[in-house]
């Protein structure tokens, strides 16, 4: 092989190596560019869907929980017995569990009277219908109303366990867990508000 042939071969190999190197650089450059690019956000339609989904909680549909609770409070404030409740009673109510409030309800008669009227099934259904609350929200408020009635409006002063029978709307009290567990229904131990409606208590019964 003569020198000219060697030169040609070397030259071709060099060009090939350079080309391969350029390809690698281009690919690397593309990778860097892609990594550095800020991803495009969702379009307006997608954003609207995301917002709707993020707001979808229990009781949220065309009439949101916020709208329902605002309407509920407005209707509550129209009840004569719920007007001008002393701030001292409201403060006491907010700092108490339902059990404590039941035992000390004589200390806040105005507020208890309001809650008991508000929790009457007829009144509860009347407000729910007027406020067009969602089915889930309405079910939760009805359950809460039953508990308020059972624990605050009709129970004796000393109540440790309260049984709420959804089928008969009757409530019994007992100091024995076993006696309440013998029935079918919801057992409220230590008089804490039924777990899933705790948020509703703050949402629609607080002042």
What is the model's pLDDT at position 33? Answer: 61
What is the model's pLDDT at position 62? Answer: 41
CA distances from 23 to 17, 30, 32, 86, 164 (A): 10, 10, 14, 80, 76
> What is the C-alpha to C-alpha distance for residues 96 and 115, in angstroms, rounded to an integer?
14
What is the model's pLDDT at position 207? Answer: 55
> What is the C-alpha to C-alpha distance for residues 22 and 167, in angstroms, rounded to an integer?
79
What is the model's pLDDT at position 69? Answer: 80
The 10 Å Cβ neighbour count of residue 85 is 20
3-state DSSP of the chain: CCHHHHHHHHHHHHHHHHHHHHHHHHHHHHHHHHHHCCCCCCCHHHHHHHHHHHCCCCCCCCCCHHHHHHHHHHHHCCCHHHCCCCHHHHHHHHCCCHHHHHHCHHHCHHHHHHHHHHCCHHHHHHHHHHHCCCHHHHHHHHHHHHHHHHHHHCCCCCCCEEEEECCCCEEEEECCHHHHHCCCCEEEECCCCCHHHHHHHHHHHCC
Q: Is the pTM of this model over 0.75?
A: no
Per-position pLDDT tens, the chain of length 207: 554 444 444 444 444 544 555 666 666 666 666 655 545 555 666 656 555 444 433 333 444 677 888 888 888 889 898 888 888 887 777 666 666 667 777 888 888 888 888 889 999 999 989 988 888 888 888 888 888 888 778 765 544 433 333 443 333 333 333 333 333 333 333 333 333 333 444 444 555
The 10 Å Cβ neighbour count of residue 78 is 9
What is the model's pLDDT at position 153? Answer: 81
What is the model's pLDDT at position 125? Answer: 92
> What is the C-alpha to C-alpha distance for residues 85 and 112, in angstroms, rounded to an integer?
10
Tell me which residue of 180, 184, 76 sits closest to 120, measured CA to CA: 76
What is the model's pLDDT at position 115? Answer: 84
What is the model's pLDDT at position 188? Answer: 35
Tell me which residue of 70, 67, 195 sits closest to 143, measured CA to CA: 195
């Amino acid at each position: 092989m003569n020198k000219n042939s060697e030169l040609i071969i070397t030259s071709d190999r060099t060009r090939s190596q350079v080309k391969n190197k350029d390809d690698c650089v281009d690919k690397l450059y593309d990778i860097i560019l892609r990594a550095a690019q800020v991803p495009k956000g969702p379009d307006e339609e997608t954003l609207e869907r995301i917002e709707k989904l993020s707001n979808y909680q229990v009781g949220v549909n065309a009439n949101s929980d916020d709208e329902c609770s605002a309407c509920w409070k407005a209707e509550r404030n129209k009840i004569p017995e719920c007007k001008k409740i002393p701030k001292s009673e409201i403060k006491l109510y907010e700092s108490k569990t339902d059990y404590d409030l039941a035992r000390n309800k004589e200390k806040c008669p105005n507020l208890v009277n309001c809650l008991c009227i508000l929790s009457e099934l007829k009144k509860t259904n009347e407000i729910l219908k007027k406020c067009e609350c969602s089915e889930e929200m309405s079910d939760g408020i009805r359950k809460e109303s039953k508990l308020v009635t059972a624990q605050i409006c009709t129970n004796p002063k000393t109540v440790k366990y309260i049984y709420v029978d959804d089928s008969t709307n009757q409530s019994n009290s007992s100091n024995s867990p076993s006696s309440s567990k013998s029935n079918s229904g919801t057992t409220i131990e230590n008089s804490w508000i039924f777990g899933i409606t705790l948020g509703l208590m703050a949402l629609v019964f607080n002042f």
